[in-house]
Structure 1
Amino acid sequence: MKKIAVLLAPILVLLSFITYSSNPAADLGLAPGDSTELVPKSYYGDEAKLIAQILDTYHYKKIKLNDSLSSVILDTYIETLDNNRSYFLKSDIESFEKFRTKIDDLTKAGSVSPAYEIYAVFKERFDNRMSFVLDSLVNVEFDYTIDEYYNTDRSKEAWSNNDHELNELWRKMIKSQTLSLRLNGKDQEGIKETITKRYERFDKAIQQYKTEDVFELYMNAVAEAFDPHTNYFSPRTSDRFKQNMSLSLEGIGARLQTETDFTKVVQVLPGGPAEKSNLLHENDRIVGVGQGEEGEIVDVIGWRIDDVVQLIKGPKGTTVRLEILPAETGVNGPSEVITLVRDKIKLEDMQAKAEVVPLRKDGREFKIGVITLPSFYMDFDAYQAGDPDYTSTTRDVKRLVEELEAQGIDGLMMDLRNNGGGSLAEAIDLTGLFIKDGPVVQVRTSTNRIEVGEDDDPGVIYDGPLAIMINRFSASASEIFAAAIQDYHRGVVIGEQTFGKGTVQSIIDLGKYLQLDGQQQAGQLKLTLQKFYRVTGSSTQHLGVNPDVNLPSAFDANEFGESASKGALPWDQIKSATFKMTDKVSPKMVVKLNDVYNKRLTSDNGLKGLVEDTRELKESLSKTQISLNEEKRKQEIAEAEKRKASRVSLSGTKIQKEGDGEKDAIKIEDPYLKEGVIILSEMISEIG
């Protein structure tokens, strides 16, 4: 394999070192004589200057921090503080306009004053809202017969003109929350207690914000103006990032983010308790967390993501209960309480696994080998230490393929769904197991140099029928592997369009370039330096990989994927590498597989059920308007539960064609994998 450099260029050591004198009051984030107002620490201005210098000089985009980006930074920072337009007034937003074209100049000059001036206004508005809720709304007995609605997503709504409009907005918000509690069986006193505790905790969390938190929010807005994968990490966030990368955290194995007032599951990590239980899924919303089998469910609506994570995390072997709004029934559906046992995500849980799936179809018996690959992993420490038995994706898959072939498989399925990537070197080497040799991926650096990652081993461990399963959450290295298999016509790609992340980042420890005393600590900058391209020259950015056979998808690219991110680098194309396609998959074969699949769409009840389930999930994800009428809300909940109960179970269903009777059968609980296996069997039959 030809190696590709993805590490930070050493020229960064040329950045000048800066020495600071310590100001104890400033380093505590306090103004002299003030115990509440947050102000920047003494060295934040120089840290901001350093970040601006690095972004201007080394970011892949090769643009300067200018007036245009200043405008983006301002909007991003405001959205970060008030993403649902529930605190700031229109007059506040207008007062911030003085910073519209000044943030670039101020940052380069070492001033982060906009961060703290805007935050001070936010904090005042926040305190007003908490007083309004706790002093007024918790005592209101709402009329649930009125036909009115609350929109959970106000990101595109106009800013409120005055306190009266904000009060009305918050009245509807609290009414929606109290109605949910009422429908879950709480009486008026219970509702009042829950809402009071909810906002007291929320208020306490914001009151605990430190100057470091404000600086991180602001500098992250500066970094993300260049692209969504360039980020600033405070020292505390840096430590958490390192823990996540080393998989040392004990918890449920899910990646979360804040969406409006909810904590949303954006990824269920392979090998974790959530994935193993099959109780928590992408796009579920977590609204409550309880400790142990009997602990009180703590309401977490409106909480900071860090605080929710702290409640969910815990020692291995302990129990946590989550109250969730399942994605399939949405914000209008009923909540559910699930129980998970915390655990560590072990390396062996992330490793490739194999099974043989028997299939009887059209009177023929098939053995389909399925290898599930959660990530592209490699034990770098063992490799560098010269351990001949170091763990790697390619080594594991090679061994599993040999074991499957020994069992006489007719075809091989590589399942890369929800595989968020990992080692680029492993993606290249894994591709090499299925092609003779040649380029696998092209990488363009920020200096426009093209590097080619090649498989230089002519050996092939498997040359039989091959299919790759992908979905919207297959990203990065997964996309490199799937794209290469598709471009070489080596196998058929089945599923959904992938995420579309075609960029490479490196981490810069800013403290190495700032001389700070023992009481001062700088953060880290995650910087986009390179971009991926397929061997054909097409970038995987935005487009990702489009499957040869598209299965039903509930996730639009503009909502879920790289295209949903503001400021994402554009798709583009470079010159194709020289490579030789195989004759394993022809355009004619792809057309035939799609024809057969489309016919089944009209005749197979299980497949029609999958299409309907997908449509309902897509509709549920798009709904943001909630009725505040009790009878209507009850009806919506009943309909959601009815749809869920009446779904066609695809577990163990039979595939039947006229005249075949019991000849055709397949037992797979996973409906997408089931369809993939059927399509692969059609491919095997086509080959003969």
Structure 2
Amino acid sequence: MKLKTPLLALLLAAPLALLARTDGAIPNAPTQDQATAAKLVYGLLSDSRYAYRPRALDDALSADIYKRYLDALDPNKQFFTAQDIAKFDTYKTSLDDAIKSGDLSPAYAIFAAYRQRALARAQYARDLLKQDIFTFNGNDTYRFDRKDLPWEADDAALNAQWKESVRNDWLRLELAGKKPDEIRKTLDKRYANLVESIGELKGEDVFQSFLNSYANAVDPHTDYFTPRSADNFNLTMSNTLEGIGAVLQKQDDIVAIREIVPGGPASKTGRVKPGDRVVAVGQGTNGAMEDVVGWRIDDVVAKIRGTKGTTVRLDIVPAEAALDAKPVRVNIVRDRVRLEDQAAKAETIDVPASNGKPAQKIGVIKLPAFYQDFDARRRGDKDFASATRDVAKLLTTLRAQHVDGVVLDLRNNGGGSLDEAIELTGLFIDQGPVVQVRESGGRVTVNGDDDKQIAWEGPLAVLTNRGSASASEIFAGAIQDYGRGLIIGETTFGKGTVQTLLDLDRWPANEAARFGQVKLTVQQFFRVSGSSTQHKGVVPDIAFPTSVDATEFGESTYDNALPWARIAAVPHTAYGNFSPILPTLEQHHAQRIAADPEFRWWTQDVEQFRKERADKSISLNEAVRRGERDEEEAKRKQRQAERAKLGLALDPLADDNDDGLQASERNIAQDLQRDKLAEKRPDPLLREAATILGDAVGLLNADHQLSAKVLPTARSPGHWAD
């Protein structure tokens, strides 16, 4: 069977948040389609013709699925008690039989208990607000990370935990300057929204959560998607959608406009802005208007999104109006929209003269994902979304600006299309192998770049961190193996497997989507050097301090990840060997960051964050918390004053304090503005990466003998000296 285009998207998602809406009670058993889908998933995950590492669905795997399902429902042990778990243990070794038969009633039974417990806890939190418990002069603490603790013994113990949580919520708002009546109102609405959200759950949420517990037990990057979730995943991968070009956000029981995509259909009307609330949706120019107040956000999105060229009508209450004001009706013609926030972007950094080298201009390309619109490409659309094509255009622009080098910023780029990783590498090399992929049977295929055209022959660096994964690691590993550029930053995530999407509707040949899709691990990839990135990641040539420990984040944190392996290397060009200049670059780097206040502050903040994270708890003593808050505020003010004194760019969020609010409780327009300001904060790591690349250029331009030693293949990609 021919598989779809392989995907290397890394889903670094938090545990499933099952807070949504339904139009009725959760059923106690799956639908017939869900029962069929469960059997189809079992067939895929246990068959070596499809899965790279199939696992027999037996009692041992059942126990693993059971644990993962409980973790998905209650990751921080906030709802279930040890008494609940003792009752659930009867299902521990029977979930394998449930999946094989399609009778998933045990999963629904566990979920029914979860829903009951969650509703009870949320109501308990509301009741606490009526009590006189909000004095903060003792030595008690709030434990915010409980995932490694045992389940609380009973309801009384769980109530004590929730009391800590509610008191912490109150204290945060009090420290933000809120009065008791305002705090009580805010928190009562917060917990009421939690009650409502729990009551809005759908059977498909339960089904997807449980099947993902099965899929993740087989492999950490294998996932099940319902038809709607599959559509959203494909949208993310393609970086395009057909709709109105607006980002939506839930506020209380209303869906509001958070952001307008520039140039999109909503933007062109001039009648929609952030903060506006959508209260009704109608299809076409005269279809009935449906009241969507109280709907879950994905249901509203499904109504608004639609085929290019069709019309959708929105009844909108402007942000500045009262919610009961008369809505404004806006007609919008849907169109194909590029998600520009996730597209590649370029800028330049001016590096001052130092160490005997002149001032330089370094180009920076920030690539958040390896996206490609697969459907548009298959249709022959000449303007299909592609990370490689976007980067190529940006390189042309940077070349016209006569930059001295280019830094490709892959920080927090979790991956995407395998094809894009290969084609992007081809922009910087002549031609040759880029990655090796091994199938479950052991057959190895070499995928490479056959196009001799090069978009950028000059100096290159790749900036990575622990969030750089999958396709990012293929690209960074190839650039390092070819000696084509410097790798700077942190060791990458360590994901060395390839996934593909399998449509479960293809076997029954359904006309409509019914069974969903599986993102299935089908191959393991290896660098051209023969080494796998699995677990080990790509190790930088010049390392920055570690922001996230490998024991906390990365492939090595998965208990069922594939082991590291090595296969034979494949012949490839060695454009350069940077070993001779790395000690000098390290020396200059160390001297520079010792005198760089921004880099020093970043290092201090990382250390403080890691310390606070390791503590896993926070004081509920107001004097202690206020002292910590005042100390943090004084630190930010001192840093801002030092920036001004040194002529550095000011931090636009230097006065930003914890307001104690959740995202849905803030003014949308103001919160969006804060996000925009955050993008303009000083970035000492990017600036230092550009400076390191500038140092390398300066060293090689000043010493032709050294250049010939480091970059022996003159006038080929990577020849940096004049």
CA contact (8 A) 1:552 1:610 kept: no
2:44 matched to which residue of 1?
54
Q: Secondary structure at the match of 2:54?
A: coil
1:546 matched to which residue of 2?
539
In 1, Cα distance between the equivalents of 2:550 and 2:298? 27
1:452 to 446, 453, 465: 446
Provide TM-score, normalisation by structure 2. 0.72
2:42 aligned with 1:42: no
Residue type at the aligned position of 1:434: F
2:687 aligned with 1:674: yes
Where do 5+ consecutive residues of structure 2 fail to align?
8-21, 251-258, 264-272, 279-294, 305-313, 321-335, 649-679, 703-722
2:72 matched to which residue of 1?
80
Q: Secondary structure at the match of 2:690?
A: helix
Distance 1:653 1:536, change over 3 A: farther
Distance 1:462 1:99, change over 3 A: same
1:360 matched to which residue of 2?
353
Deviation at 1:115?
0.2
1:292 matched to which residue of 2?
275
Deviation at 1:252?
8.4
1:503 matched to which residue of 2?
497
In 1, Cα distance between the equivalents of 2:113 and 2:452? 64
2:657 matched to which residue of 1?
none
CA contact (8 A) 1:383 1:390 kept: yes
In 2, Cα distance between the equivalents of 1:127 and 1:348? 37
CA contact (8 A) 1:29 1:40 kept: no
- Name the count of aligned residue pairs: 590
In 1, Cα distance between the equivalents of 2:478 and 2:189? 53
2:465 matched to which residue of 1?
471
Distance 1:581 1:29, change over 3 A: same
Deviation at 1:83?
1.4
Deviation at 1:75?
0.6
In 1, Cα distance between the equivalents of 2:382 and 2:503? 32
2:363 matched to which residue of 1?
370
CA contact (8 A) 1:29 1:211 kept: no
Distance 1:312 1:8, change over 3 A: closer
CA contact (8 A) 1:472 1:499 kept: yes
Distance 1:401 1:604, change over 3 A: same
Distance 1:252 1:542, change over 3 A: farther
2:151 matched to which residue of 1?
159
1:198 matched to which residue of 2?
190
Q: Deviations over 1:404-454 (max 9, x none)?
A: 445544333222233333332232233233333321111112332211112
CA contact (8 A) 2:473 2:492 kept: yes
Where do 5+ consecutive residues of structure 1 fail to align?
10-27, 257-268, 274-289, 296-305, 322-342, 656-666
Q: Secondary structure at the match of 2:192?
A: helix
Deviates more, 1:246-255 or 1:42-51: 246-255
Q: How does 1:423-462 map to 2 (within 5 A)?
A: 423-462=417-456
Residue type at the aligned position of 2:37: E
Q: How does 1:514-533 map to 2 (within 5 A)?
A: 514=508, 521-533=514-526
Deviation at 1:383?
4.8
Distance 1:373 1:146, change over 3 A: closer
Deviates more, 1:487-496 or 1:621-630: 621-630
Provide TM-score, normalisation by structure 1. 0.76
Q: Secondary structure at the match of 1:364?
A: coil
2:573 aligned with 1:580: yes
**RMSD across aligned positions (CA):** 4.0
In 1, Cα distance between the equivalents of 2:148 and 2:386? 46
1:12 matched to which residue of 2?
none
CA contact (8 A) 2:73 2:114 kept: yes
Distance 1:77 1:678, change over 3 A: same
Q: Secondary structure at the match of 1:360?
A: coil
Deviates more, 1:539-548 or 1:377-386: 377-386
Residue type at the aligned position of 1:628: L
Deviates more, 1:306-315 or 1:105-114: 306-315
Q: Secondary structure at the match of 2:359?
A: strand
Q: Deviations over 1:43-86 (max 9, x none)?
A: 43332122111111122113222222211110111111111112
CA contact (8 A) 2:363 2:403 kept: no
Deviation at 1:199?
1.9
In 2, Cα distance between the equivalents of 1:506 and 1:252? 29
2:225 aligned with 1:212: no
Deviation at 1:493?
0.8
Q: How does 1:250-329 map to 2 (within 5 A)?
A: 292=275
Distance 1:511 1:412, change over 3 A: closer
CA contact (8 A) 2:4 2:502 kept: no
CA contact (8 A) 2:4 2:501 kept: no
CA contact (8 A) 2:62 2:93 kept: yes
2:529 matched to which residue of 1?
536
2:156 aligned with 1:173: no
Residue type at the aligned position of 1:123: R
Deviation at 1:150?
0.9
CA contact (8 A) 2:26 2:203 kept: no
Q: Secondary structure at the match of 1:111?
A: coil
Residue type at the aligned position of 1:50: L
Q: Deviations over 1:565-605 (max 9, x none)?
A: 453333222221222312x3331222321232223344444
Deviation at 1:208?
2.2
CA contact (8 A) 1:541 1:570 kept: yes
1:419 matched to which residue of 2?
413
CA contact (8 A) 2:433 2:572 kept: yes
Deviation at 1:669?
4.1
